[in-house]
Structure formats: structure tokens, C-alpha cells
Amino acid sequence: MGYPLQGKRALITGASSGLGLAMAEALAEAGATVILTARSAEKLETAVACLVRRQLDAHARVMDVRDEQSIAAAVEEVRRRWGGLDLLVNNAGIGMRTVNPDFLSEPQPFYKVSAAGFRDLIDTNLTGYFLVTKAFVVLFLEQGRGKIVNITMNHATMRRKGFVPYGPSRAGTDSLSLIMAEDLREANVQVNMLLPGGATETGMIPEEHKETIKAQFGLLNPAVMADPIVFLASKASDGLTGERIVASEFPEWLRQREL
């Protein structure tokens, strides 16, 4: 999709693999400078090295979305090295397997989820979005413009048996995003949501279940996020805020809006 992004600066959390890496690659291929962040320095450096070998403008920054000092240090590096930011993509998250490794075959009721497991997932998937946006939005307010994309999931996931706390974390993402959009509307900062539109072939799905899910339901390639994230980073999406875009339905969404 032809939306040139030369001169745009984007930062993506949870970008060492899966959806985050796919979006980073798409943005860099469109000409953007892309800062990939994640907790694991090793995985991050490997991912960035692959992009750099293709002469893409990609950079690594270790950052923990649960740690305010880690986030603040990243904000200052972005300010110092790139002078600001045009797009923030909140994507870092952990899945159900952190509280129940067998969540697909043996879903467990919410009352069997440990308090520690619940807090850890919410701290990453929901509070992390809040902390990162709260810190980076300062750059957008200084510039008088900016774009934020929060990655979320299907509404069915928010109601699925055995999906506490992942479902609540993403329901919270939707509400948080809509309120952010209203809070920032007059500041010329747009906030939108993007979701794949189905189960996606990422590390959140245990390897032992991937083939079964593929056979029964199919698995989306993370590259499904490429066209919509490039669109959301581009001038074509200027003024668009509070939208919830399903990546697998993106061409039809565009057609209906004649964008």
C-alpha cells in the first residue's frame, strides 16, 4: 500500500517478534525510522539486525513497559536522538499461557487464577499501555501533533471461557483507548485501535496447539498488520481518532470510507 513514511519516527513496544516485529518491518519498509523496544536485549538485537541488514532504518531500545524509570529513559533517548516522535504503537503484552499453559485445551475458571498471575498480566497488557503513553505523550503535546495506536483483540476474546485475565486486559485497552482519544482530541493527537481479526501465529499460542488450530480455524500471519499500521502512520489517516480497525477487514474498511 503506497503510503510513504519518509521522515516519520515510530516507536513500537513488544517489537522483538510477532505482531510488533511485523509492524516494525512494514513501517521501516515504507521509509520510517523505527525504534523497536522489548525487555529482552538479545531477542531485540537479533530482530533489529535482520532489518538493518536490509538497509532499513531500525533501532533497538531495551524497555520494560511496567517500569516507569525504564520508560522515562527511553523517552529521553528518543528526544535526544530523534528530536521527537510521530507514532507510538502500544503492542507489548503477555498471553494466557503465563497463567495457564493449557488454556486452549483445559480452560480454567477465573477463581483458579492466582492473584500474582492476574496482576502480572494486567500490569503488562493494560497498565503498560497507560504508563508508556503517559510518558511519551509529552513529546506529542510539545510538538502539537502525534499518533498513537493501541493493539487490541477481538471482542469474543473478552468473553471467552477461561480467558481471565487476558480478556479483561484487552477490554480495558479498548476503554483506555477511547478515553485517550477524547482527552487528546483538542491537542491534535490521534488515538486508534488495531487488532488482527483472529488468532495469529505468534508466541502467545503454544507450539503444541498451533497445528490443530491451523487445521480447524486457520491462523493469521502477523503480516496482516502491515497495511493498516502504515496507513495509520501516514498523512492519509490525519484526523482519524477513536477508531477500532480490524486488520483482516482493512481493505473493506478503507473502501467503505473511501480513504
Q: What is the pLDDT of residue 198?
A: 84
Range of the domain at 25: 9-257
In a domain, 1, yes or no: no
| CATH code of residue 228 | 3.40.50.720
User: Burial of 79 by CB count in 10 Å (0-12 exposed, 13-18 middle, 19+ buried)?
Assistant: middle
Q: What is the pLDDT of residue 82?
A: 98
Q: Which residues are catalytic?
A: 166
Rounded to 5 degrees, φ, ψ at 2 are -90, 75
Q: What is the pLDDT of residue 84?
A: 98
Distance from C-alpha of 65 to C-alpha of 86, rounded to nearest angstrom? 19
Q: What is the pLDDT of residue 257?
A: 86
C-alpha 91: how far from chain center? 2
Q: What is the pLDDT of residue 213?
A: 52
Q: Distances from the Cα of 216 to the Cαs of 156, 158, 199, 213, in angstroms? A: 17, 21, 11, 5
The total domain count for the chain is 1
Q: Alpha-carbon torsion 228, 230, 232, 235, what sign?
A: negative
In a domain, 243, yes or no: yes
Query: pTM for this structure?
Result: 0.93
Distance from C-alpha of 214 to C-alpha of 33, rounded to nearest angstrom? 34
Q: Distances from the Cα of 68 to the Cαs of 19, 37, 106, 128, in angstroms? A: 24, 14, 36, 9
Q: What is the pLDDT of residue 258?
A: 74
- Give the containing element (helix H, strand E) for 90: strand 87-90
In a domain, 150, yes or no: yes
pLDDT of the chain along its 259 residues, tens only? 568 999 999 999 999 999 999 999 999 999 999 999 999 999 999 999 999 999 999 999 999 999 999 999 999 999 999 999 999 999 999 999 999 998 888 999 999 999 999 999 999 999 999 999 999 999 999 999 999 999 999 999 999 999 999 999 999 999 999 999 999 999 999 999 999 998 876 656 555 555 555 555 568 899 999 999 999 999 999 999 999 999 999 999 999 987 5
Helix, strand, or coil (residue 153): coil
What is the grid cell recorded at 24? 516494525
In a domain, 2, yes or no: no
Q: What is the pLDDT of residue 120?
A: 97
Distance from C-alpha of 214 to C-alpha of 160, rounded to nearest angstrom? 19
